Amino acid sequence: MATAWFIFLALMIAVYAVLDGFDLGVGALHRILARTDAERDEAAATIGPIWDGNEVWLIAGGGVLFLAFPKAYAAAFSGLYFGLIIVLWLLVGRGLGLELRRQIDNPLWRIACDTVFWLSSAALALTFGVALGNVVRGVPLGPDGYFHLPLFAILNWYALLIGIFGLVVLSAHGARFLAWRASGGLADRAGRWARRLWWGELVLTVGLVWPTHTVRAEMFTSFQDHPWRLIFPALTLVALGAAYLSDRAGAWVGAFGASSVFIAGLLATAAAGLYPSVLPAREDHPFGLTVHNAASSDHALRVALFWWPVGIALAIVYFTLAYRLFLRPTRDDEPRTVSGV
């Protein structure tokens, strides 16, 4: 039962990373790619009405973690205290920057908002990578099920590498989205950046294998013990190849799809390698949290299995509806800015 919830949790995180990933990526490249005021409007409008819905997947994912593995939730969030609080502040800043940019009609105000939006999006992409890096590396859990990592221990070398990887991958994801959804010079520039960032994705994907092996060799033994799980890294590599081909061909819908699969594949690989750990401990700490010792009672998990799929099915219906309306090709005479308020 706990295993099922481990899969749901991984699924939620993957959906979040794919969906909010592209609007974070658009944000991280915002002031680099969009040169003029009109282009910045256009870039913001591509994610205008949907970024908020995408972010709900993070909240819902946090809800699943709390529901299914309260012990891991309590340990991770209190131990990575500063990391978490910084994420929260960045989320506030980014949301306000994006939503308020059109509220006051003054070029300086817009530049200020855009800069906040740009930098906090980039910082968020980095921080999510850092968080994942810390989970993969493991944390110094004590026998009471808690740990404390000061800020600069959260930003350790391995986590920072994964953070940079996160920034590169989400930026490339956002660039492909912009190349698909934007027009003119903005789309061209986004396409060029997508092709360039692809090399970063390749180098880091390959280059991170060895560091990951040094911090968590169990990941590799788990693939040896269960060879079928190799399907996830294989899928990831295929998607990376597909992204290369579609980037070259300028087939941006395909490129965006490939990079979505790539992101989901990376996270699935991490999850498959970590299972049964939810929050592993570092080498010298034997108190890791697994699906067995961190889960809620069997009854709670079984009950939730009745309503949770219903809720998610409804969410999928809503999102399909919203995306179909939103992705409908816009006519040129229509105002492009439909951003939130």
Partner 1 sequence: MDRLQFTLTVTFHYLFPILTMGLALFLAWMKTVSYLGNEGRRLRPFRKTPAERDAYDGAAHFWAKVFGVNFAVGVVTGVPLEFQFGTNWASFSNYSGGVIGQTLALEGVFAFFAESVFLGLFLAGRGRVGPRLHWISALMVFVGSWVSGFFIIATNAWMQHPVAYALEGGRAQLDSLWGLLTNPWLPWQYFHNMSGAAVTGAFVLAALGAFYTLSERHVEFARICLRVGVVGALIFTTLQIFPTGDEHARRVARYQPSSFAAAEGLFQTSKGAPLVIIGNPDTERRRLESTLEMPHFLSFLTSRRWNDTIRGLDSIPTNRWPDSVPLVYYAYHIMVGLGTILFVVALLGALLLRRGRLFRSRPMLWALMLACPFTYIANIAGWTVAETARQPWVVFNLMRTHAGASPARAVPAGTGIFTLLGFTGLYLLVGLLYVLLILRLVARGPD
Output the CA torsion sign for 96, 101, 104, 107: positive
Report the SS3 class of residue 330: coil
Q: What would the x/- binding string for partner 1 be over residues 94 to 133, using CB under 8 A?
A: -xx--xx--xx-----------------------------
Q: How many residues bind partner 1 (CB under 8 A)?
A: 67
Residues 18-37 that bind partner 1 (CB under 8 A): none
Q: Judged by CB under 8 A, does residue 70 bind partner 1?
A: yes
Other C-beta atoms within 10 Å of 310: how many? 9
Minimal CA–CA distance to 201: which of 233, 232, 171? 171
- Cβ–Cβ < 8 Å for 43, 30: yes
Per CB under 8 A, the segment of 39-47, 81-89, 219-227, 267-275 that binds partner 1 is: 81-89
Phi, psi of 149 (to 5 degrees): -120, 120
**CA-CA-CA-CA dihedral for 141, 146, 151, 157, to nearest 10:** 20
Nearer Cβ to partner 1 (145/211):
145
Tell me if the bond preceding 276 is cis, omega within 30° of 0: yes
Minimal CA–CA distance to 166: which of 126, 205, 197? 126
Residues 6+ apart with CB under 8 A from 180: 187, 252, 253, 255, 256
Residues 231-290 that bind partner 1 (CB under 8 A): none
Q: Judged by CB under 8 A, does residue 78 bind partner 1?
A: yes
Q: Judged by CB under 8 A, does residue 332 bind partner 1?
A: no
Nearer Cβ to partner 1 (192/336):
336
Nearer Cβ to partner 1 (212/296):
296
User: What residues line the site for partner 1 (CB under 8 A)?
Assistant: 49-50, 52-53, 55-56, 58-60, 62-64, 66-68, 70-71, 73-79, 81-82, 84-85, 87-89, 91-92, 95-96, 99-100, 103-104, 142, 144-148, 296-297, 299-300, 303-304, 307-308, 311-312, 314-315, 318-319, 321-322, 325-326, 334, 338, 340-341
